[in-house]
Structure 1
């Protein structure tokens, strides 16, 4: 175990500190609170998130009415997109896991408020229910997708409302369609092909965020490799990577996902960069308040130890932690 706070911060970032819990006396490391940037709360038991190390979530596809009714305090802190915006008959309409309340079919590219089926109407509905981000579905493998004009209308209106737009881009040409429309990021690291250096450079220059979701490809080695290489290139070029799991998609642990963390590490998002991806408060400006991540026991001393160590994270009140630095 190292007692050198400078070495600890060099490995894990400026928010890392040796500490102990005031009540139990248990020693460990405190870190900023973690956020899973891609979940679907209607498919999981959210009460287990905190004990598993997740203090905040971004719900990227749910019933906007139910989200608006949520208690605004407490852990996990929830930011949300509300419903998927999609083309008529597009993904996820008709999927067994997707009740009608979580999708809105945009049938008109109108940017005028109140037009039935209009782009502005769909964006404004999500905004009125407290959305912090807009999500568009561009999944050509599962149905129709927006044409360029409709997608541009959604992005324009969202930007006017101060809301970033994330794309679920799946299928040939879908990442490029999203990039050309100037979306603010990807709900999944592009995984249906290698995007290439030019695409990556443009995404980084545009200030995009890419949510990782690498571990969902556990049964598809080709998609896993596309995603790993694409994210590695984006991160190496200075792109803003966000930890996200698509929690609710298949069997996954409710809490820090060791497979996702390990996949990020393999993609070159390691050490302090990994902690930054997990603790980034996007799309909100500040992290969850009053809580910290606590990982008991000795801290890692090498980069190759960090990913596995993070699986033991839990969420505790910050006031319970006493720093041990001298």
Structure 2
């Protein structure tokens, strides 16, 4: 096994990176915790490709809750999910070709009482009955109606009463302010449709929000706004998660080098980039029994980390022999 400088590995990749080799092939590389993509839509991708290309676990942020509940609990990728988008009548993503009826749930009443037709509490209860780990709300003013603040607060209250965080698709003027006022816990995309001022970003940090990146899906002004908003948020200690919105556009299924590069450019580098990839949010623990394996020598400088990570695959943990000289 070649010698690796443990201090350099620590600086580039953090404390969980370990030199290793695969028992069957003898191939050397680096072991990392399982990598997560925190924003996918499984009904729009070939999930069989994910583990082959580095992704061990995903968060489905908009799918048929019944179909997701029927997934075998130990299948790969390990899957946490939000179930259906909760949205205002006629709101995003109603009518989209990629979002069949089962993926959209309209909330018409701010009531948190159980059993109220169209009620906020009923909507949360129905998703929770399907085993969701997070509640997804759509706040897209550019594509139709959005919730009033009282309804959004009711959804958040019902979700929090069940121990479930709320993640929002935020798009359009005033939508970030609405999410903050309602106590939304996470953003499905780094804010891309508005320039956020320092006070708004500070509020998001103080609230403890998580921002899922999805930087690489954007072009032009949206891409610039998303990158700078996220860089500012990360720069004050905001919590950033790697996510790609896989299923949105034609891309290979697996880890996305362009997303890694965009995060790195935005200042989420080295150990922070690894943390964004390996955080198990919204669940407490990562997938058991598997490890990320990146073949070949480790990177020797920060700029090389994104390209190096793009070569990751998922392997059984028991297959790896770790270097005792770490």
2:221 aligns with 222
Q: 1:58-80: per-residue Cα shift (whole Å, max 9, x none)?
A: 00000000011110003210000
CA offset at residue 205 of structure 1? Answer: 1.1
1:142 aligns with 143
Q: 1:201-249: per-residue Cα shift (whole Å, max 9, x none)?
A: 11111111000000000xx210000000010011111011000000000
Give TM-score scaled by structure 2 length: 0.98
C-alpha contact (below 8 Å) 1:29/1:294 kept by paired residues: yes
Distance 1:166 1:252 in 2: 24
1:3 aligns with 4
Q: 1:173-219: per-residue Cα shift (whole Å, max 9, x none)?
A: 111110111100100000012112111111111111000000000xx
Q: Does 1:67 align with 2:31?
A: no
Q: How many residues align?
A: 324
C-alpha contact (below 8 Å) 1:5/1:18 kept by paired residues: no
From the superposition, tell whether residues 212 and 2 of structure 1 become closer, same or farther in structure 2 (CA, over 3 Å).
farther
CA offset at residue 45 of structure 1? Answer: 0.5
CA offset at residue 136 of structure 1? Answer: 0.2
CA RMSD of aligned residues (A): 0.8
SS of corresponding position for 2:178: helix
Q: 1:265-288: per-residue Cα shift (whole Å, max 9, x none)?
A: 010000110000000000010110
Q: Does 1:321 align with 2:320?
A: yes
From the superposition, tell whether residues 274 and 106 of structure 1 become closer, same or farther in structure 2 (CA, over 3 Å).
same
CA offset at residue 128 of structure 1? Answer: 0.5
Residues 302-317 of structure 1: matches in 2 within 5 Å?
A: 302-317=301-316
1:167 aligns with 168
2:117 aligns with 116
Runs of 4+ in 1 over 6 A off after TM superposition: none
Q: 1:10-44: per-residue Cα shift (whole Å, max 9, x none)?
A: 21011101110000000000001000000000000
C-alpha contact (below 8 Å) 1:5/1:325 kept by paired residues: no
Distance 2:161 2:146 in 1: 23
Residues 32-51 of structure 1: matches in 2 within 5 Å?
A: 32-51=33-52
C-alpha contact (below 8 Å) 1:17/1:325 kept by paired residues: no
Give TM-score scaled by structure 1 length: 0.98
Gaps of 5+ in 1: none
1:13 aligns with 14
Distance 2:99 2:92 in 1: 9
Gaps of 5+ in 2: none
